[in-house]
Amino acid sequence: MNYLENKVEDVQIAYIGGGSRGWAWGLMSDLASEPSLSGTVRLYDIDMHAAQTNEIIGNKLNELENIQSHWNYTAISSLKEALTGADFVVISILPGTFKEMYSDVHTPEKYGIYQAVGDTVGPGGYIRALRTIPMYEEIALAIKAYSPDAWVINYTNPMSVCVKTLYKVFPEIKAFGCCHEVFGTQKLLASMVKEVTGTENVSRTDIKINVLGINHFTWITEASYKGKDLFPMYESFVNQFYETGFQEDEKDHWMNNSFESAQRVKFDLFKRFGVIAAAGDRHLAEAVNGKWYLKDPETVAEWKFGLTTVDWRINDLNSRLERGTRLANGEETFELKETGEEGVLQIKALLGLTDLVTNVNIPNTGQIPNLPLGTIVETNALFRKDRVEPIMAGNIPNPIYGMVATHVSNQETIVEAGLSGNKKLAFSAFINDPLVTLPYAEAEALFEEMLNNTRKYLQKNFK
């Protein structure tokens, strides 16, 4: 890297999963819009054609008039070559195929278990974890061998399991996991301030929060706007919109977009526990008792969110494949858009160009005192030159502690099971999940069926 005044050139980024038709394009847009950085992005993917397509798309950005920096994109055929000399490693992979994801999400429905996402907890989350862990073991060993000093940014789910596996395999790794779910809750609080006070131009970054928990089951214990405590306002806001739900932008109504919700799950959890839930309703619903919000599709509709089907994801991928072809062929111009992600800001901070405070998934070194040390937790952290320093968030509040602790235990267990190939241990986490409200024999049958559907991705000693 070359450090100039307020700028760093020749930054080397290795992108594992570089054939992505979503995250990769977002990273390209954010990098091209940042004037203080430039360098090379090496795109590694098991789908070499996808990486080569992104190489073409990324390099075409240098022809745009409104870009702020130039980046060279190159598709790489080996993990070793991608990682060697990397300053940063970005991981964004699909663990397996949509065939396995279809089993994760929809096989439990035969047993009356519904999942809105199926990638973090629940039956789908834990089976996905079991096939992801060997992949992350390989990635961690490769980073240890070829780029041990690089900063590693993970976007893949299940987030906590992925980051934990990296540290378990390579304890000295400098890795953290990024998720935008908390940003969505900050945006909701900003919308609330506008709705209640009439104040315009309230940004999510104006909302100062203390966040704690685990990925996709995060909670806000403090929230303020210009020094004003927002909890009393939020309580009134929840009471006002509890039945109808709240959506500021009707263009993305929850009935037309399976990633959206009317925030009713958040509101209900606040009324139950007095703490602001800080993830999307689809993820929150999966982290609590399965009968509360996911009893059946009718119950889901009453709570005003959707079940994201794998068929929808397949159709969406086909649309993005078509767009990728148009972008690579020059039939469509890449439009630079702010993604709202903070990966590039984190890179800037780690290079010493700025300081940044944001929520991040890293091992617990005491920032949440009543969770076990080493657990992957999500709290705020300070990013500065070559350092990520967790900010003390305090204890998980008693009303929600038991729910959070259950998932912490399950995730620790599933990582151990996935690395050792211990099927019995894996099932102990599976049956302990709040969505698995089945008799033992039925839970075992579901586990065996789902395991068989993802068997080729498991550890060889996983009997």
Neighbours of 65 (CB within 10 A): 4
Binding residues for substrate: 157
Q: Are strands 2-4 and 7-16 parallel, antiparallel or unpaired?
A: antiparallel
Cβ 142 vs Cβ 83: under 8 Å: yes
Do residues 245 and 304 make contact, with C-beta atoms less than 8 angstroms apart?
yes
pLDDT per residue as tens digits for the range 15-43: 999 999 888 999 999 999 999 999 999 99
Structure tokens at 413: 């267990």
- Average the pLDDT over each of 239-243, 297-301, 343-347, 458-462 and give the range with the smallest value: 458-462
Residue 257's pLDDT is: 73
Q: How far apart are CA 412 and CA 82, in angstroms?
A: 30
Domains of the chain: 2-97+115-179+331-341 (3.90.1820.10), 98-114+180-308+342-463 (3.90.1820.10)
Summarize the confidence of residues 215-228 as an average pLDDT.
98
Annotated binding residues for Mn(2+): 179, 216
Q: Which of 49, 70, 106, 180 is catalytic?
A: 180
Residue 329, pLDDT > 90, answer: yes
pLDDT at 463 over 70: no
User: Which pLDDT score, from 0 to 100, does residue 315 have?
Assistant: 92
Q: Which pLDDT does position 245 carry in this prediction?
A: 95
In terms of DSSP H, where are the helices of 95-121? 98-106
Average pLDDT, the chain: 95
Name 224's bridge partners: 208, 229
Q: Which residues of 204-228 are buried (b: 16+ CB within 10 A; e: fewer)?
A: beebbbbbbbbbbbbbbbebebeee
Q: Which helix (H) or strand (E) holds 91?
A: strand 88-91
Q: What's residue 41's pLDDT?
A: 98
Tens digits of residue pLDDT in 117-169: 999 999 999 999 999 999 999 999 999 999 999 999 999 999 999 999 999 99
According to the model, what pLDDT value does residue 199 have? 95
pLDDT tens digits for range 391-449: 999 999 999 999 999 999 999 999 999 999 999 999 999 999 999 999 999 999 999 99
- Taking every pair of Cα atoms in the chain, the longest distance, rounded to a whole number of angstroms, is 65
Q: How far is CA 19 from the centre of its chain?
A: 18
Tell me what pLDDT residue 462 has: 73
Residue 260: band (very low, low, confident or very high) from pLDDT cuts 50, 70, 90: confident
Q: How far apart are CA 182 and CA 184, in angstroms?
A: 5
In the block, tokens 């990324």 appear at: 58
pLDDT at 250 over 70: no
pLDDT tens-digit map of 103-119: 999 999 999 999 999 99
**pLDDT value, residue 3:** 81
* Assigned token pair, 33: 């819009």
**pTM > 0.85: yes or no:** yes
Span 186-220, pLDDT tens digits:
999 999 999 999 999 999 999 999 999 999 999 99
Model confidence at 340, in pLDDT bands (50, 70, 90)? confident
- Residue 319, burial from CB neighbour count under 10 angstroms (0-12, 13-18, 19+): exposed
Token output for 168: 């378990």
Among residues 432, 413, 420, which one has the least CA distance to residue 458? Answer: 420
- pLDDT at residue number 251: 66
Percent of the chain scoring above 70 in pLDDT: 98
Query: Residue 13: its pLDDT value, please?
Result: 98
Binding residues: 157, 179, 216
Average pLDDT in the 247-261 region? 74
pLDDT in tens, 346-364: 999 999 999 999 999 999 9
70 is known as an active-site residue: no
More confident residue, 340 or 271: 271
The fraction of the chain above a pLDDT of 90, given in percent, is 91
Cα→Cα distances 142→20, 241, 350, Å? 20, 50, 22
Give the three-state DSSP class for 118: coil
pLDDT over 80 at 255, yes or no: no
- Region of 413 (left: φ > 0; alpha: ψ -120 to 50; beta: rest) is alpha
Q: Using the structure block, give the residue that is written with the tokens 């900003």.
A: 190
The predicted structure's pLDDT at residue 348: 97
**Is 461 a residue whose pLDDT tops 70?**
no
Give the per-residue pLDDT at 2: 83
Identify the residue whose tokens are 């203390």.
Answer: 210
Within 10 A of 236 (CB to CB), how many other CB atoms are there?
Answer: 11
